C-alpha cells in the first residue's frame, strides 16, 4: 500500500464497523467492548453464583421475571433478574440498552453491575440490597416502627436525590415511570435506592403487545400520563409526591380508608391541609420521633408534587432546594391534587375503546372478566395509550429516556 493509501486507510479504519478486519460481527464487537468495561457476565458465572438459580435463592418475582440472590467469586453479593421471554427485542439492542443503564451510577439508585445473554435468556445483574423494599416495612404494622421520623425523612431526601440524578444528571434524562414504595430498596444503612429504573427500555412495546395489556401500579400514576399517555418528568414528580405522603402518614394511597369522605390519601391530606390541620395525617407510630416542622414541610411538598396541573408541580431540582432549607421554608400554595391513577392488567379488545373517567381511572367494563391485577405488566409503559388507541404504537409508548419536555431521542423496539 502506498504511503498515501495507508494514510486514508488509517483515517477510515475507526469508522468501519461490520464486519471488522478481524471478521468480528457488530454484536461481537459490542460484546467485547462491554466485556472490557466488565459489564458482561458469562452465564456460567451466574449459574454458579445463584446455585443454579436455586429456589432457596429466589428473592421474589416481579413484573419482569424472577429475581435470585447470588454471590460472585470476588465476594460481591448480587441480585440476578431473569427477564421473562415476552420481548421480541433484538439482542444487540438489549445489550446496548443494558450498557446505557449500567452507566447509571448514584448512591440512591440500585447499581446495575452488568448483564448476560444466553440463548433466549436475558439477565440483569444488580448490586444486592440488604433490607426489604420500603413497602414491606412501611405498610406492616409490626415493622413500621423500624422507620422512625429520621429514617423516613432521610428516605424522602435520598429518593429525591436519586430522581434528580435520573432526570437531570445521568447521561440521558431517564423517567422512571414506576416510582412506588416497592421499588425503593433500603441498604444496610437504610439508604434508599431506586430500583427498576429504565426497565421499559429493555422491554419495548410492539404491535403485538399493545392491545393485550394495561400495565399497573396502584395509586401512583400521574393523571395526565394515565389518561393521555403524556409522559414527562412531572409524572415521576407526581409519584414521588404520593410516596412522600405515604412516608409521612404510613398509609397506602391505593388502599386508603381513614376517611370515607376522602377519595384517597392525597385527597385526605389536601383537605386537612386546607383546614390548617395537615399534621393530623402524621403516622401515630411517629409520635415520639417526628419533627413537626419537617413533617409539615413534607406534607406541603407532597401536595405540591401531586397537583393536578403538572406545570405547577416542582421539578426534582426545586424539590431538593425545598428539602435543603430549614423549615419553615417558603413554598408555593398547593392547588388541587390530581387523582392518582390505577392501572390494571386487563385485556383490551381490538376496536373497543375504554373510556377514561374524570377520576383518571380507565373505565372499561369489558375488562371485568379478565381483570387480573398482575404486576407482570408493570413496565410502566403505554397504559393509556394502549387503552385508548389499541392498534397503534404511540411515540410515547416506550419512552422513559426522553428530553425534559417529554420528547424522546431514542426509540425502543
Ligand atoms: N437489587 C436487589 N437486592 C435485593 N433484593 C432485590 C433486588 N432487586 C429486587 N429484589 C427483590 O426481588 C423481589 C422482586 O423484585 P422486582 O423488582 O422484580 O419486583 P417488584 O418490585 O416486587 O414488583 P414489580 O415488578 O411489580 O415492581 C422483591 O422482593 C425485591 O425486594
For residue 62, the CA-to-ligand 1 centroid distance in Å is 6
The least confident of 53-57, 94-98, 136-140 is 94-98
pLDDT of 238: 96
Nearest CA, atom 29, ligand 1: 60
Same domain? For 116 and 155 the reply is: no
pLDDT of 214: 33
pLDDT of 186: 96
The residue ranges of DSSP E strands in 191-254, in sequence order, are 192-194
CB contact set of 82 (below 8 Å; sequence gap of 6+): 53, 65, 66, 67, 68, 121, 122, 123
For residue 179, the CA-to-ligand 1 centroid distance in Å is 13
pLDDT by residue (tens digit) across 262-278?
788 999 999 999 999 99
| ipTM higher than the 0.90 cut | yes
Q: How far apart are CA 164 and CA 117, in angstroms?
A: 31
- Per-residue pLDDT at 169 exceeds 60: yes
Residue 187's domain comprises: 131-324
188: confidence class by pLDDT, cuts 50, 70, 90? very high
Q: How far apart are CA 31 and CA 116, in angstroms?
A: 10
pLDDT of 224: 86
Q: How far apart are CA 176 and CA 182, in angstroms?
A: 13
Cβ of 64 less than 6 Å from ligand 1: yes
For residue 78, the CA-to-ligand 1 centroid distance in Å is 12
pLDDT of 15: 34
pLDDT of 234: 94
35: confidence class by pLDDT, cuts 50, 70, 90? low
- Per-residue pLDDT at 318 exceeds 90: yes
Nearest CA, atom 17, ligand 1: 62
The CATH number linked to 109 is: 3.30.200.20
Answer with the residue of higher pLDDT: 23 or 373: 23
- Per-residue pLDDT at 363 exceeds 50: no
- Contact (Cβ atoms closer than 8 angstroms) between residue 50 and residue 80: yes
Here the cell at position 294 is 419537617
Same domain? For 152 and 204 the reply is: yes
168 lies in a domain?
yes
For residue 145, the CA-to-ligand 1 centroid distance in Å is 22
H/E element, 397: none
Same domain? For 105 and 238 the reply is: no
The atom of ligand 1 lying closest to the CA of 65 is 18
pLDDT of 155: 98
357 lies in a domain?
no
Average pLDDT over residues 331-350: 66
In total, how many domains does the chain have? 2
pLDDT of 291: 96
Here the cell at position 176 is 422512571
341: confidence class by pLDDT, cuts 50, 70, 90? low
- Per-residue pLDDT at 358 exceeds 80: no
Q: How far apart are CA 138 and CA 254, in angstroms?
A: 14
Same domain? For 222 and 306 the reply is: yes
- Per-residue pLDDT at 22 exceeds 70: no
The least confident of 114-123, 172-181, 182-191, 214-223 is 214-223
SS3 label, residue 221: strand
Same domain? For 66 and 108 the reply is: yes
For residue 138, the CA-to-ligand 1 centroid distance in Å is 16
Cβ of 196 less than 6 Å from ligand 1: yes
Average pLDDT, the chain: 74
Q: How far apart are CA 143 and CA 140, in angstroms?
A: 5
9: confidence class by pLDDT, cuts 50, 70, 90? very low
The least confident of 23-27, 43-47, 209-213, 242-246 is 209-213
- Per-residue pLDDT at 109 exceeds 80: yes
Nearest CA, atom 22, ligand 1: 62
Average pLDDT over residues 197-203: 65
Domain boundary among 108, 127, 146: 127
83: confidence class by pLDDT, cuts 50, 70, 90? confident
231: confidence class by pLDDT, cuts 50, 70, 90? confident
Here the cell at position 216 is 399497573
Same domain? For 98 and 142 the reply is: no
Please tell me which residue in 74, 154, 178, 365 is annotated as part of the active site: 178
Cβ of 72 less than 6 Å from ligand 1: no
Out of 66, 72, 133, mutate this one to test ligand 1's pocket (max ligand atoms within 8 Å of CB): namely 133
| Beta strands at 77-83 and 112-118: parallel, antiparallel or unpaired | unpaired
pLDDT by residue (tens digit) across 370-403?
222 222 222 233 332 332 222 222 333 233 333 3
Same domain? For 60 and 164 the reply is: no
Average pLDDT over residues 105-133: 91
pLDDT of 205: 45
CB contact set of 24 (below 8 Å; sequence gap of 6+): 32
Out of 49, 55, 57, 60, mutate this one to test ligand 1's pocket (max ligand atoms within 8 Å of CB): namely 60
The CATH number linked to 231 is: 1.10.510.10
Cis peptide before 345 (omega within 30 of 0): no
184 lies in a domain?
yes
Answer with the residue of higher pLDDT: 119 or 160: 160
For residue 139, the CA-to-ligand 1 centroid distance in Å is 17
| Beta strands at 355-356 and 184-186: parallel, antiparallel or unpaired | unpaired
166: confidence class by pLDDT, cuts 50, 70, 90? very high
Domain boundary among 92, 127, 162: 127
Domain boundary among 299, 324, 349: 324
142 lies in a domain?
yes
Cβ of 406 less than 6 Å from ligand 1: no
Active site residue 178: yes
Amino acid at each position: 500500500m502506498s504511503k498515501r493509501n495507508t494514510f486514508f486507510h488509517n483515517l477510515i479504519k475507526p469508522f468501519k464497523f461490520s464486519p471488522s478486519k478481524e471478521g468480528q460481527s457488530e454484536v461481537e464487537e459490542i460484546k467485547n467492548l462491554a466485556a472490557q468495561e466488565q459489564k458482561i457476565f458469562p452465564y456460567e458465572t451466574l449459574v454458579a453464583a445463584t446455585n443454579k438459580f436455586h429456589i432457596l435463592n429466589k428473592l421474589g418475582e416481579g413484573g419482569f421475571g424472577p429475581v435470585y440472590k447470588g454471590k460472585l467469586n470476588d465476594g460481591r453479593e448480587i441480585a440476578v433478574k431473569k427477564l421473562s421471554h415476552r420481548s421480541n427485542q433484538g439482542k444487540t439492542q438489549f445489550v446496548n440498552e443494558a450498557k446505557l443503564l449500567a452507566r447509571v451510577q448514584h448512591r440512591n439508585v440500585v447499581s446495575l453491575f452488568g448483564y448476560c445473554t444466553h440463548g433466549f435468556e436475558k439477565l440483569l445483574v444488580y448490586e444486592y440490597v440488604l433490607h426489604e423494599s420500603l413497602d414491606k416495612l412501611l405498610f406492616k404494622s409490626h415493622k413500621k416502627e423500624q422507620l422512625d421520623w429520621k429514617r423516613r425523612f432521610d428516605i424522602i431526601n435520598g429518593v429525591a436525590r436519586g430522581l434528580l440524578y435520573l432526570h437531570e444528571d445521568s447521561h440521558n434524562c431517564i423517567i422512571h415511570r414506576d416510582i412506588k414504595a416497592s421499588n425503593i430498596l433500603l441498604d444496610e444503612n437504610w439508604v434508599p435506592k431506586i430500583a427498576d429504573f429504565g426497565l421499559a427500555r429493555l422491554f419495548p412495546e410492539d404491535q403485538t403487545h399493545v392491545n393485550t395489556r394495561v400495565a399497573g401500579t396502584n395509586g401512583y400514576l400521574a393523571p395526565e400520563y394515565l389518561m393521555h399517555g403524556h409522559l414527562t418528568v412531572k409524572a415521576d414528580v407526581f409519584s414521588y409526591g404520593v410516596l412522600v405522603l405515604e412516608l409521612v402518614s404510613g398509609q397506602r394511597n391505593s388502599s386508603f380508608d381513614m376517611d370515607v369522605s376522602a377519595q384517597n390519601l392525597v385527597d385526605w391530606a389536601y383537605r386537612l391541609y386546607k383546614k390548617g390541620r395537615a399534621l393530623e395525617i402524621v403516622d401515630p407510630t411517629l409520635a415520639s420521633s417526628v419533627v413537626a416542622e419537617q413533617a409539615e414541610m413534607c406534607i406541603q411538598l407532597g401536595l405540591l408534587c401531586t397537583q393536578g396541573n403538572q406545570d405547577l408541580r416542582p421539578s426534582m431540582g426545586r424539590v431538593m432546594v425545598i428539602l435543603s432549607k430549614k423549615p419553615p421554608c417558603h413554598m408555593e400554595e398547593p392547588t388541587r391534587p390530581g387523582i392518582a391513577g390505577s392501572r390494571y392488567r386487563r385485556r383490551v379488545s381490538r376496536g373497543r375503546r375504554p373510556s377514561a373517567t374524570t377520576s383518571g381511572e380507565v373505565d372499561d367494563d369489558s375488562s371485568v372478566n379478565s381483570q387480573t391485577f398482575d404486576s407482570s405488566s408493570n413496565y410502566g409503559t403505554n397504559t393509556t395509550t394502549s387503552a385508548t388507541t389499541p392498534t397503534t404504537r404511540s411515540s410515547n409508548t416506550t419512552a422513559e429516556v426522553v428530553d425534559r419536555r417529554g420528547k424522546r431521542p431514542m426509540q425502543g423496539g
